[in-house]
Amino acid sequence: MATLDGGPIVRRVDEIWERDGGRCVWCSRDAWPRDRTVEHLLPRSRGGRDGAHNLLPACRSCNRERKSQAAVAYARRRAGAGAAVMADLLVRGLERLAAHGTADERRYGGKQARMVREWQAGERALAGHLAKAA
């Protein structure tokens, strides 16, 4: 997890937060500057790199909690716990990873983006069904 501890990483974290709207991808909250981190879509432990194409803004708490879980699995878990996951931002990040990453990053980004879109489509269908039943 990259944090605000001075030097070039501070600029990288600030750039990623600014690029992506200033909110945590996993909970939609703004974070205190000291609690802003960058999330590796494909975790470094699974072969992800530190390039901007593999990074999204995440608050320290969400970043620590995710560890190396798959992006869609963590997004679903957070949403199930009531967090406002920024699914559109997550899909854009995963699509960027699929377009600009290494072979492993491209595979992961493409598969995870598809799975997030499918999850979101299912959620919309369920909401529509429940609205009709009410």
Which pLDDT score is estimated for 3? 42
Residue position matching structure tokens 């959620």: 123
Q: How far is CA 53 from CA 39, 88, 103, 108, in A?
A: 11, 16, 13, 13
Question: Radius of gyration (Cα) for the chain, nearest Å?
Answer: 15
For 54, other C-beta atoms within 10 Å of its C-beta total 25
Residue 6: which pLDDT band, with cuts at 50, 70 and 90? very low
Q: How far is CA 99 from CA 53, 60, 73, 110, in A?
A: 9, 27, 21, 8
Q: How far is CA 45 from CA 1, 115, 123, in A?
A: 11, 21, 30
Which pLDDT score is estimated for 10? 74
- Convert the pLDDT of each residue in 43-77 to its tens digit: 999 999 999 999 999 999 999 999 999 999 999 99
- pTM for this prediction: 0.88
Which pLDDT score is estimated for 9? 66
